[in-house]
Structure 1
Amino acid sequence: MDVKKSSFDTLPFSKLFQHYISGNGTITDFFETHPANKGSVHESVDSFEFKGERSVGASILEKYNHEHLDHEVTRDQIGKVKKHDCLTVVTGQQVTLFGGPLYTVYKTITAILYAKKLEKETGRPVIPIFWLADEDHDIEEVSTINIPGSYDQTEITYSHIDYENAPPASTIQLGDELSTVQKLLKENLDETDFTADLLDQITSYYKSDRTFGGAFGDLLMSYFGKHGLLLAGSLNQTAKSHTTHLLKKAVKLHVNLTSSLDDTTYALKEAGYHDQVQVQPSNLFYLTESGERIKIQCVDDTWSIPSKKWSSSELLDEIDNHPEQFSPNVFLRPILQDCLLPVAAYVGGPGEIAYYAQMKEFYENFGYKMPIIVPRFSLTIFESAIDRILEKLPFEWQKYLDRIEDLEKEFVETTDSVDIEKMFGIWRSQIDELSRAKRDKIGDIDPSLKGSVGKAKATYFSELDKLKGKVYRSVKEQEKVQIDRIKRIKNNLFPNDNLQEREIAFIFFMNKYGNDLWDRVIDKLSDEDPYNHLTLHL
């Protein structure tokens, strides 16, 4: 296994993210601390003040992790959280089917390694925590994984019942549909020395009576619990009762909160960046008794969902009486995290970093300071077979982001002994020149026939283009082996014209390289940082 550094510049990442990675002065103004600035990081840690109750955070962690795979190191880690000087590094995402894409493990590995680094540098206990986004209800996002073949992808999708308003995805029971997606998974994974063990492990966690959240948590802890990872979330009574004051503050200060988000978002756009999340007057959702999660709207101090309306005072009373029925949006969730856990740093992907850029003043409205926002590792995995055929082709690996048609055309142009474009270009020029001369002579005979010369030339050019296409196809057929290699490389490195880390299920690589793959990756990345895109050569 070998790791090489590569620039983000030639890859499809936003300007905002690329400037954040490089420490560009404009974007860093939107954050409290840049993680690459060691002095600022230590200053942030030294001045860190946890405003919550450590016993509450520990209680939530005990409940969450007791429900999942309980390693001996897990209990030790929870014990450390109770200490007055303990810090946490948090990451998280939705509870995707069979663990989700590669970035799931890249986030997790970054949190584990950054926690170790911060602990070593500060001398304080630092715990990596994966926050299960257990209140999110984007069920489409959690329900699909991609398994690559040689030249295309197989999309495995869990089919839900039709929800008028979806519940939190973590609460959905897997039920009978699970057998369908498990069958598809087995059919589409190549059989290797590791397949039987991998499928046994997955089916031991993903059972019809389990939920998306429960199965996802078990799977994640089976691979990373031994590295000290803990799980957390807010869809529980303890979390709700201890964050009631924040939910109420989101109502009381909604004008100020909206204004601060609007102002920061405007400043981002003025600086040439994009806004990741649309700002709305309400940052709350309502959890109905039937389990649905519905966005609360706010217009002129009236709060509503389709079946209910509240004045601000009525809504505050209902939050007091039933905090379990209220849920934070993407802006409010980090505030709840920081209330429940001593979050010194948050590990996020490009999209998360973009919406944190909108939040600096939002934090201040709640009396909090934004934690250190650490970019997750971004990697592209190169299997040895891909490395070998890359050497036989004229393109840098980033070039395979191009359309397959453009890659094939460019390959034919660069490898054929005859310059097809040049040959046909000269041919067209010769015809054009000859046609002009003939047009004048024909015009002398009969001026009304001049237009017919142009039509004849257009017909000739049309036939010439058809012939050129046939020549290209002939060359492509002769170069079929290389063209197939181009398709295979593109499908492996940039499936669906996207980054590999965003598309491919991480269990795909475990099936080929073993259940200990991520242990080896953690060892290999222990001395790396996330400020370059890394290529991992297996």
Structure 2
Amino acid sequence: MPNDCISYQNSGYFSKLIVDYLDEKPNLKQLYNHFPKIENFKLQIDEKKANFPVENRHVLVSELEKQYAGFEISEVSSSNIQLLKQANTYTITTGHQLNLFTGPLYFIYKIASTINLCKQLKTEFPKHDFVPIYWMATEDHDFEEINYFNFKSKKVKWNRESFGPVGRLSTDGLQEVFELFSSELGIGSNADDLRNLFTKSYLEHSNLADATRFLANELFKNEGLVIIDGDSTDLKKLFIPYVKKELLQQNSFKNVMETNEHLKDYFVQVNPREINLFYIEDNLRERIIFEDNKFKINNTDITFTRDEILAELENSPEKFSPNVILRPLYEEVILPNLCYIGGGGEIAYWLELKSNFEANNVTFPMLLIRNSVLLSTQKQADKADNLELFWSDLFSNQQELFDKKTKEFSEFTIDFTTQKEHLKKQFESLFAIAVKTDKSFTGAVKAQEIKQIKGLENLEKRLLKAEKRVHTDKLERILLLQNELFPNQSLQERKANFSEFYLEVGSSFLEKVLAELQPLEQEFKIIVL
């Protein structure tokens, strides 16, 4: 069985910014607080302790108790909620959209990474407690990004319209989705478990936020996960001073744009607005714009004077929703958080935000790339072994992989480097003669050298092509295996849904993921189910 490791940096699936961050390049150090190493968490704890009001803890716990009313909750999760009142308790947080039935696999990996980091920190710092938090992105409105999941290469989709925050969206219409999914599952106890999970999550809850809370709670009920919905009046009351500052001073635009100038050699993940807030109601989520000395709600006739919008903020803070620039600040204001765990794209936009945190006197969290995983069956691992493949081979570009393996399978060397070097030495003596005559002869020698080198390169390509035909069977088996593990030549974790693997191995799937993920390691985890 292949047993090599694939670092994130060498996988080919992370941006230059994230690779440089993981390599701790000096030019990026000003964009984060402490790099996520176990020894650095003590520094982060000390900073957060000195800069997090105890009264925020009580508001947080009170709100969580309200949000969990009517839900069955495990003893460990209930205990974790109460621990948040204590000054020596901190959170590790991940966030994700309310994807239907969890969406891609990396939803599972994010939460597992968060849970496992809390366990590791408790071992390292036994006098403190650490609570894993899943922040539900209930105020997002990108319904088309979350209204489906893939099951065995088929899209299971919820067809309906959505205009406001997705967390408030009614679950009406999901019976039809369930029937389609159920018909694909087949028979067996694992299939029945998945049917039951979908039914209890989506058909027995009236909105998408509650359905997602139930689902995540059910999957991780024994791990102490605490799930939070930021779409809350009481939590947003804590954020009023920051919203007011955004409306009147609009400093986040200036702060983030200055940072983005520092990132000009990289792809910038997000760009700020002049005002980084939405105005939301059940069926409305639109940007707040300042024009003609008035605050306007985009695509509506709603307008406010300065005094009116400040009164609206005091009376109805739940109507003010932070966008991607301000949501991280909101999270860190209401949570005693040490570290945010996210994918490469998320960490890329968090790296734009430190200066804005400093301007608001809020401690910037540590930023950790979530665990990435490749799931394989034992049969697939055996195939890789039989085909003399390393796991890193399967991460390769398909054409490069074919070329590499063809050369390895061939009985002779498909590399004319020696011949090309020999040819170049022969031409060196011709050039020595050429420089003693006119320039036209020198040009003729150079042209002939290029022509013959090109001829050798073409012969090399033709020989490689001929050898590919000889080894067609093995190469086709490699192709099939890579396509199984990398659907559409993309990462499995970005395409497949957990249900596909749960169907095969049941609850041991989640147990194995939790047992094997090491959040502070910077390499793909290969899990053979």
Corresponding residue of 2:194: 198
Q: Which residue identity is paired with 1:33?
A: H
Residue 219, structure 1, aligned to residue 215, structure 2: yes
Cα deviation digits, residues 438-457 of structure 1 (max 9, x gap): xxxxxxxxxxxxxxxxxxxx
Q: How does 1:436-515 map to 2 (within 5 A)?
A: 475=469, 479=472, 482=474, 484-515=476-507
Quick one: which amino acid aligns to residue 529 of structure 1?
A: L
Q: How many Å separate the matches in 1 of 2:396 and 2:349?
A: 28
Please report how far the alpha carbon of residue 130 of structure 1 lies from its aligned counterpart in structure 2 after TM superposition.
Answer: 0.6
> Is the CA contact 1:286–1:327 (under 8 Å) kept in the aligned structure 2?
yes
Change (3 A) 1:298 1:491: farther
- The 5 Å alignment of 1:11-410 reads 11=11, 12-36=13-37, 38=39, 40-48=40-48, 49-51=51-53, 53-122=56-125, 123-148=127-152, 153-161=153-161, 163=162, 166-176=163-173, 178-189=174-185, 191=187, 193-207=189-203, 210-254=206-250, 256-269=251-264, 272-288=265-281, 290-299=282-291, 302-304=294-296, 305-307=298-300, 308-393=302-387, 395-401=389-395
Give the conservation status (yes or no) of the 8 Å contact 2:375–2:526.
yes
Deviates more, 1:23-32 or 1:362-371: 23-32
Alpha-carbon separation, structure 2, partners of 1:206 and 1:3: 40
1:451 corresponding residue in structure 2: none
Q: Is the 8 A contact 1:142 1:169 kept in 2?
A: no
Q: CA 1:174–1:472 in structure 2 vs 1: closer, same or farther (change >3 Å)?
A: farther
Structure-2 residue corresponding to 1:531:
522
1:198 Cα deviation (Å)?
Answer: 2.3
Rate the CA distance shift 1:146–1:72 in 2: closer, same or farther, 3 A.
same
| Secondary structure, aligned partner of 1:294 | strand
The answer for the alignment partner of 1:5 in structure 2 is 5
1:355/1:120 CA distance change after superposition, 3 Å:
same
Instruction: Provide the C-alpha distance between the structure 1 equivalents of 2:388 and 2:249, rounded to a whole number of angstroms.
Output: 59
Please list every run of 5 or more consecutive structure 2 residues that lacks an aligned counterpart in the other structure.
417-461
Residue by residue over 1:430-478, the C-alpha shift from the partner in whole angstroms, topping out at 9 and shown as x without a partner, is xxxxxxxxxxxxxxxxxxxxxxxxxxxxxxxxxxxxxx9xx989949x9
Give the deviation of 1:285 after TM superposition. 0.4
In 2, Cα distance between the equivalents of 1:479 and 1:278? 48
Hey, what's the Cα distance between the residues in 1 that align with 2:275 and 2:213? 30
- Supply the AA of the counterpart residue of 1:94: Q
Residues 250 and 283, structure 1, Cα contact 8 Å, conserved in 2: yes
Decide whether aligned partners of structure 1 residues 143 and 494 sit closer, same or farther in structure 2, where only a CA change above 3 A counts.
same
Q: Which amino acid aligns with 1:397?
A: W
CA gap of 1:127–1:474, structure 2 versus 1, over 3 A, is: closer
Give how far 1:222 is off: 0.9
Taking the aligned partners of 1:36 and 1:9, their CA distance within structure 2 comes to: 17
Q: How does 1:391-430 map to 2 (within 5 A)?
A: 391-393=385-387, 395-401=389-395, 415=409
The residue type equivalent to 2:130 in the other structure is V
Question: In the alignment, is the contact (CA less than 8 A) between 1:3 and 1:534 conserved in 2?
Answer: no
Asked if 2 retains the 8 angstrom alpha-carbon contact of 1:3 and 1:536, the reply is: no
Q: Which amino acid aligns with 2:157?
A: T
TM superposition score normalised by structure 2: 0.82
| 1:437 match | none
Tell me how far 1:322 sits from its aligned partner: 2.1
Alignment-mate amino acid for residue 339 of structure 1? V
Q: Which moved more, 1:190-199 or 1:351-360?
A: 190-199
Structure 1 residue 118: deviation in Å?
2.1
Contact 1:175 1:208 in 2 (8 A): no
Alignment partner for residue 510 of structure 2, among 501, 504, 518?
Answer: 518
Structure 2 SS opposite 1:206: helix
- CA distance in 2: counterparts of 1:279 and 1:506, whole angstroms: 34
Please name the residue that 2:420 is paired with: none
Does the C-alpha gap of structure 1 residues 530 and 318 become closer, same or farther in structure 2, counting only changes over 3 Å?
same
Q: 1:73 to 1:115 in 2, by over 3 A?
A: same
8 A Cα contact 2:147 2:158, kept in partner: yes
CA-CA distance at 1:483 after TM superposition: 5.0
Of 188-197 and 358-367, the range deviating more from structure 2 = 188-197
Letter in 2 for 1:535: I
Amino acid of the residue matched to residue 202 of structure 2? Y
The CA deviation string for residues 47-76 of structure 1, in whole angstroms up to 9 with x for no partner, is 323135211000121122334331122221
Secondary structure, in 3 states, of the residue corresponding to 2:138?
coil
What does residue 429 of structure 1 align with? Answer: none
Distance 1:394 1:182 in 2: 42
The alignment-based identity, stated in percent, is 27
CA contact (8 A) 1:20 1:27 kept: yes
The amino acid that maps onto 2:208 is F
Q: Deviations over 1:342-373 (max 9, x none)?
A: 11221111111101100011112221120111
Shift of 1:314: 3.3
In the alignment, the residues of structure 2 paired with residue 339 and residue 9 of structure 1 have an alpha-carbon distance, to the nearest angstrom, of 32
Q: State the TM-score, normalizing by the size of structure 1.
A: 0.81
Count of matched residue pairs: 478
CA RMSD of aligned residues (A): 3.1
Q: 1:84 to 1:37 in 2, by over 3 A?
A: closer
Secondary structure of the 1:160 match is coil
Alignment gaps of 5+ in structure 1? 423-467
